[in-house]
């Protein structure tokens, strides 16, 4: 019960930071030191699901890129199964914690950059993974972003985009995450409208799985939808 109250408080504090800092980057910079307390247990489990999926499908072993790596929870699970892993995030404070978490891995590099503008001259990755990034990818810029990521992928590579159920699905509206939802869209819109009353352009975009798949197809990917233990993984490869 105490843990629940603490998490409710931390969630409210995170919303407040978002309002105060006026950007997703500012929000994560301000909130980094509390992120793991709020999310680590859930994200660790999801990181393990992604790692196991990579192992089961024989995708491990080459170079991995992680987008929006945050405090390095997934990075820590990719590092032992890839030759090299690069974690990218635009929040210097989140990256600082990721560097600390992965300090024992000599094959991990971190880069502070905006994934919407990411360019890594000549680099090619076998897996590009992300967990919890999509609410921060604006739909207007998504096609350009997807094409940019495709250019960073080796011809037999996979882009794995993992989407978690929104918090309200866990309470009031529990339903499978890969179903089109008539609940998420208005709730995301209400959240964004609420934030706008503080003068903040909120940074939460709702990605219906079908919409994401269409986008990836338009960018030239073929997609497979995997649901494991409530985590949705869109596995996008070359047709």
Residues that bind ligand SAM (CB under 6 A): 24, 28, 39, 43, 68-70, 73-74, 88-91, 94, 114-116, 131-133, 136
Q: Is the dihedral of CA 16, 22, 25, 29 positive or negative?
A: negative
Q: How far apart are CA 192 and CA 153, in angstroms?
A: 33
Q: How near is the Cβ of 189 to ligand SAM at its closest, in Å?
A: 19
Cβ proximity to ligand SAM, 132 vs 238, nearer residue: 132
- Enumerate helices (H) and strands (E) in the chain, giving the number of each: 8, 7
Q: Pseudo-torsion of CA 234, 238, 71, 207, nearest 10°? A: -40
Cβ proximity to ligand SAM, 30 vs 236, nearer residue: 30
Q: How near is the Cβ of 70 to ligand SAM at its closest, in Å?
A: 3
Cβ proximity to ligand SAM, 43 vs 223, nearer residue: 43
- Order of strands, edge to edge, in the sheet holding 84-89? 108-112, 84-89, 63-67, 125-131, 153-163, 231-237, 222-228
Q: How far is CA 160 from the centre of its chain?
A: 10
Q: How near is the Cβ of 131 to ligand SAM at its closest, in Å?
A: 4
The residue number with the shortest CB distance to ligand SAM is: 70
Cβ proximity to ligand SAM, 205 vs 238, nearer residue: 205
Q: How near is the Cβ of 94 to ligand SAM at its closest, in Å?
A: 4
């Amino acid at each position: 019960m105490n843990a629940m109250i603490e998490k409710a408080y931390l969630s409210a504090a995170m919303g407040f930071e978002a309002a105060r800092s006026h950007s997703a980057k500012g929000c994560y910079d301000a909130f980094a030191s509390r992120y793991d307390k709020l999310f680590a247990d859930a994200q660790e489990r999801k990181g393990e699901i992604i790692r196991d999926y990579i192992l089961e499908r024989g995708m491990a072993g080459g170079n991995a890129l992680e987008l929006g790596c945050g405090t390095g929870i997934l990075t820590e699970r990719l590092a032992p199964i890839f030759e090299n892993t690069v974690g990218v995030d635009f929040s210097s404070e989140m990256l600082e914690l990721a560097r600390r978490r992965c300090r024992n891995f000599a094959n991990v590099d971190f880069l502070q950059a905006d994934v919407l503008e990411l360019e890594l001259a000549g680099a090619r990755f076998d897996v590009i993974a992300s967990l919890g990034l999509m609410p921060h990818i604006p739909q207007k810029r998504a096609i350009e972003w997807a094409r940019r990521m495709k250019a960073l992928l080796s011809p037999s590579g996979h882009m794995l985009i993992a989407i978690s159920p929104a918090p309200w699905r866990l309470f009031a509206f529990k339903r499978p995450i890969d179903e089109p939802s008539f609940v998420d869209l208005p709730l995301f819109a209400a959240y964004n409208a609420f934030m706008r009353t503080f003068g903040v352009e909120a940074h939460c975009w709702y990605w219906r799985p079908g919409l994401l798949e269409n986008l990836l197809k338009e960018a030239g990917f073929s997609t497979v939808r995997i649901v494991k233990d409530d985590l949705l993984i869109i596995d996008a490869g070359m047709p």
